[in-house]
Structure 1
Amino acid sequence: MGSIQERSGTLYFDFRYKGIRCREQSKLEDTTANRKRMQKILKRIESEITLDLFDYAKYFPKSKRVAKFKAIANKLEEVIEFESDGADFEEFALLWISEKEIEWRKSNYLTVKDVLLLHLIPAFGKKKLSEITKANILNFRSTLAKVTGRSNGKLSASRINHIMTPLRVIMNEAAERFEFNSPWKNIKALPVPRTDIQPFSFDEVSLFLKHVRDDFRCYFLVRFFTGLRTGEIDGLIWSNVDFENRIIKVHQSLVLNEIVPCKTDGSYRSVQMSEIVYQALLDYKAQQPKNQEIVFTTKKGGHLQNKYISRHIWYPTLKASGLSKRNPYQTRHTAATLWMAAGESPEWIAQQMGHSSTTMLFRVYSRYVPNLTRKDGSAFERILAEKFLQNSPESDHEE
């Protein structure tokens, strides 16, 4: 969904078209009347985009993007015909990913594009699609097992599977289009060893929060006790923090420094705020500028950078706390395991986490499941009150 934004006192349109973020400046001052006027235009633009009737040049004739979208349109209108026995892998792979670009998130598109350029095209580039055999594919996979990855280690089974997935889709799609037998038969994904999670205990969470920088205490407290993903909390806006009903509405995520809708329907959810989260956010909001839209920002008001937080906040705090080294995603695992250890209903926990079912809960967190009770957050609330609200830093200070 697009929006009307302000820059240097004037308003501009901010929307997405053909998977591309578009910002078009107007000459209108930032007034209520002008915002309403532009909002009506934006609604019309989005309706035309939905109906595939949008003409960029009609609304923004002087924009540099007009030529870009015209080129895209011309490219899509080209009829590219291959002979079933003459098409090579590189030619078809690049066509395939250009077709997929409009369907995918930018992050997914860039990930698959890297796989094509770094692995698949160098290996199969000029080979005719119909001449690629099962033996070629298996040989390629075996060479991946010898490739050096990060930290000079070998590629993991999981990483190899992620590289092989686009190859499978491309070969099956080509076989269907050009009517030849796909060589991808009975090629199973490599078994991936089960990764042990490293959630924090209540005492470890308390220890971490005592050592973390004051300006990040609320940020990590919310992460530990809501199970929000990194992109979800980094993209959280105040309008989605409902203090009246004590819920956090998860409707968007920060991906590659852009706010985008949630990836799946299941990710759209309302997460209940426990008392400690409610109070922390209430106090935090009181300290923020009134016109600040994003909940957690840099000192300059920009989006948080995950690499910076990991390198300068997360790992130094673990070290200062004497806690074992683990990645920041463990905050999400921590929320799930603490809820389960408190005896909350698996169905309620799955809903809080954004899972479509309880299957993952029992597969990943089964050893943390006690004799379950059918509750809705009250058991966890009680333990938080015992562990934190009665022994908070504020209480210690008063004593």
Structure 2
Amino acid sequence: MGSVNTRGGLIYLDFRYKGQRCREYTKLQDSTRNRSRAQKLLKVIEAEITIDKLDYGKYFPNSKLKAHFDNISENTRQSKAYFDAPDSPKFEEFTQTWLAEMKIEWSKGHYNDVEGVLNKYLLPTFGNKKISAINKGQILQFRSILAKVPGRTGGFLSPSRINHIMTPLRVLLNEAADRYDFTSPWKNIKALKIGRTEVDPFSLGEVEKVLKNVPEEFYAYYVTRFFTGMKTGEIDGLMWDCVDLVNKTITVSQSYVRGEVTGLKTTGSYRVIHLIDRIVDALKEHKRTAYMKDKFVFTNSKRKPLNYQVVSRSVWYPALVKAKLRPRNPYQTRHSFATLLLASGESPEWIANQMGHTTTTMLFRVYSRYVPNLTRRDGSAFAAFLSMGGEV
């Protein structure tokens, strides 16, 4: 039985909970009325202790014992979840089942990507654990360890990469919880915040320098990259039947990734790109010398689709050196296309469509800050608009 006592003119409760003696002070001054109130509170607390329903933090949110009892409750919950799912398999076993089920839905590239994350990061850590026994503390500890893993280009893994690694873990745990009827530990675990996408586009002058220094047989390839904004997989997977030189369009409907032609990631990525004459002229010249029995527009010396790693290493970076430009990855051709279109005053909605974005949100979030550096946008246009009384 607990008791109500006083010290220093304040009432405190003295009781035992989970084998621990608890002395919790109230803000009540010592008086007959307040003692009665404290007695009623103590009875409620003891009743909840009896039926194992006490939420310690509800009554004593600032108590030093709160964290201790919260930890006990979490361990109890995890133990209960473990034994409530006696048929749940080990993490590695469930992973193999899940991968087999997903293989029919995913592209080869995505499957290999997920499998790579599992083999490199998740299975070494969680493989031998019963999947229903993995708890929130272990998940957060794993994520903190990832933050200390060296990255490929120096430094440590980026928040974006860490989120990418954590995604299969989240999906696996939630799916297993649904199948084996236990509580998923993935509760209130938010993805790490990702900073603004860093892009380093080429100016128009720099684009011309690159095009002057790429090998002649790759001129049409890089003209198309710079002035269509196509992604590497999209241009490497481009086939002649998707190129209409009469109507000056390219239909983007597939991608070439890791040796396999696949569909595009999102519905918005399927699009028709309008070509400027410079691209049309370059593709006509390229077509004149290309092996027309090949389905792909751009091929290597063996008439096979381009390998982006080989092309980057043997063509792209040497061209930047010759042009005396700082190293930038080939994806900057896409960023350059977007910033040049914005600088030219094209409609943001049209630009987003050409890029394969369903809205202009990403366009403004990623690229708009480069526009003032490429155009004379200093507020003078707005001042002129006002001076004309709102007339354009």
**TM-score (norm: length of structure 1):** 0.70
The alignment yields a C-alpha RMSD, in angstroms, of: 1.6
- Is residue 347 of structure 1 aligned with residue 367 of structure 2? no
Counterpart for residue 29 of structure 1 = none
Counterpart for residue 297 of structure 2 = 295
1:149-207: CA deviation from partner (whole Å, max 9, x where unpaired): 32454222211111111111111111111111111111111122323211111111011
Which residue of 116, 125, 133 maps to 1:114? 116
Does the Cα contact within 8 Å between 2:256 and 2:262 map onto a contact in 1?
yes
Return the alpha-carbon distance in structure 1 between the equivalents of residues 290 and 221 of structure 2. 13
Counterpart for residue 230 of structure 1 = 232
Does the Cα contact within 8 Å between 1:266 and 1:355 map onto a contact in 2?
yes
Query: Which one is further off, 345-354 or 289-298?
Result: 289-298
What SS does the corresponding residue of 1:254 show, helix, strand or coil? strand
Matches within 5 A, 1:209-358: 209-358=211-360
Matches within 5 A, 1:15-34: none
Return the alpha-carbon distance in structure 1 between the equivalents of residues 294 and 109 of structure 2. 27
Following superposition, the deviation at residue 214 of structure 1 comes to: 0.9
What SS does the corresponding residue of 1:362 show, helix, strand or coil? helix
- Percent of aligned pairs sharing the same letter: 54
Following superposition, the deviation at residue 324 of structure 1 comes to: 1.3
Following superposition, the deviation at residue 148 of structure 1 comes to: 2.7
Following superposition, the deviation at residue 265 of structure 1 comes to: 1.5
1:65-105: CA deviation from partner (whole Å, max 9, x where unpaired): xxxxxxxxxxxxxxxxx982342211112111111111111
Counterpart for residue 70 of structure 1 = none
Following superposition, the deviation at residue 369 of structure 1 comes to: 4.2
- Structure 1: gaps spanning 5 or more residues: 1-81, 371-399
Counterpart for residue 185 of structure 1 = 187
Counterpart for residue 133 of structure 1 = 135
1:239-277: CA deviation from partner (whole Å, max 9, x where unpaired): 111012110011111111122222222111110010111
Return the alpha-carbon distance in structure 1 between the equivalents of residues 153 and 247 of structure 2. 47
Return the alpha-carbon distance in structure 1 between the equivalents of residues 182 and 282 of structure 2. 61
- Is residue 84 of structure 1 aligned with residue 103 of structure 2? no
Return the alpha-carbon distance in structure 2 between the equivalents of residues 184 and 292 of structure 1. 49
| Number of residue-to-residue matches in the alignment | 289
Counterpart for residue 368 of structure 1 = 370
1:99-154: CA deviation from partner (whole Å, max 9, x where unpaired): 11111111111111111112111111121222211111111111112223324542
Q: 1:292 to 1:125 in 2, by over 3 A?
A: closer
Matches within 5 A, 1:127-166: 127-151=129-153, 153-166=155-168
Query: Which one is further off, 253-262 or 197-206?
Result: 253-262
Does the Cα contact within 8 Å between 1:229 and 1:332 map onto a contact in 2?
yes
Does the Cα contact within 8 Å between 2:213 and 2:319 map onto a contact in 1?
yes
Counterpart for residue 96 of structure 2 = 94
Does the Cα contact within 8 Å between 1:85 and 1:129 map onto a contact in 2?
no
- For 1:238, the aligned partner's letter is W
Return the alpha-carbon distance in structure 1 between the equivalents of residues 340 and 329 of structure 2. 18
Return the alpha-carbon distance in structure 1 between the equivalents of residues 291 and 175 of structure 2. 52
Return the alpha-carbon distance in structure 2 between the equivalents of residues 189 and 261 of structure 1. 27
Counterpart for residue 18 of structure 2 = none
Does the Cα contact within 8 Å between 1:254 and 1:260 map onto a contact in 2?
yes
- For 2:220, the aligned partner's letter is C
Does the Cα contact within 8 Å between 1:84 and 1:178 map onto a contact in 2?
yes
- For 1:84, the aligned partner's letter is A
- For 1:269, the aligned partner's letter is R
Return the alpha-carbon distance in structure 1 between the equivalents of residues 261 and 127 of structure 2. 35
Return the alpha-carbon distance in structure 1 between the equivalents of residues 218 and 201 of structure 2. 19
Query: Which one is further off, 341-350 or 129-138?
Result: 129-138
Does the Cα contact within 8 Å between 1:199 and 1:334 map onto a contact in 2?
yes
1:29-75: CA deviation from partner (whole Å, max 9, x where unpaired): xxxxxxxxxxxxxxxxxxxxxxxxxxxxxxxxxxxxxxxxxxxxxxx
**TM-score (norm: length of structure 2):** 0.71
- Structure 2: gaps spanning 5 or more residues: 1-82, 373-392
Which residue of 196, 206, 210 maps to 2:208? 206
Does the Cα contact within 8 Å between 1:90 and 1:121 map onto a contact in 2?
yes
Does the Cα contact within 8 Å between 2:92 and 2:128 map onto a contact in 1?
yes
Q: 1:143 to 1:290 in 2, by over 3 A?
A: closer
Return the alpha-carbon distance in structure 1 between the equivalents of residues 258 and 300 of structure 2. 16
Following superposition, the deviation at residue 228 of structure 1 comes to: 0.6
Return the alpha-carbon distance in structure 2 between the equivalents of residues 196 and 108 of structure 1. 24
User: Which structure has the greater CA radius of gyration?
Assistant: 2
What SS does the corresponding residue of 1:323 show, helix, strand or coil? coil
- For 2:105, the aligned partner's letter is E
